[in-house]
Amino acid sequence: MANIRNPNVKQVLIECLGADHPFSFAKEIEECPEQSVVGAAVIALARNVAVVLATSAEDGGCLEQDIRQRFVAACIEQANVWYFG
């Protein structure tokens, strides 16, 4: 999980959404403390999105890449709304 001396959401976001998505969170959001209202909300949302991204069908199929990217983009957009208003 995140560094205990400087807890922030960045590591949780990487763990949940991966580092390979073409989008990035604002530095202010990545450095937001996990215990803050926004930090906790962003982490919860990222974890929920991660569950959706990890979902696969019985036949081994999974969400197409463009749909996966839309989920991550929506997560980033919502985090921006919570932080920046």
- pLDDT tens per residue, range 3-52: 444 456 788 888 888 766 666 788 898 888 888 999 999 999 989 998 98
pLDDT at 58 over 50: yes
Taking Cα atoms as reference points, which of 6, 1, 5, 50 lies closest to residue 31? Answer: 6
Taking only Cα atoms into account, the Rg of the chain, rounded to an integer number of angstroms, comes to: 13
Q: Which residues face 56 on adjacent strands? A: 62
The predicted structure's pLDDT at residue 12:
81
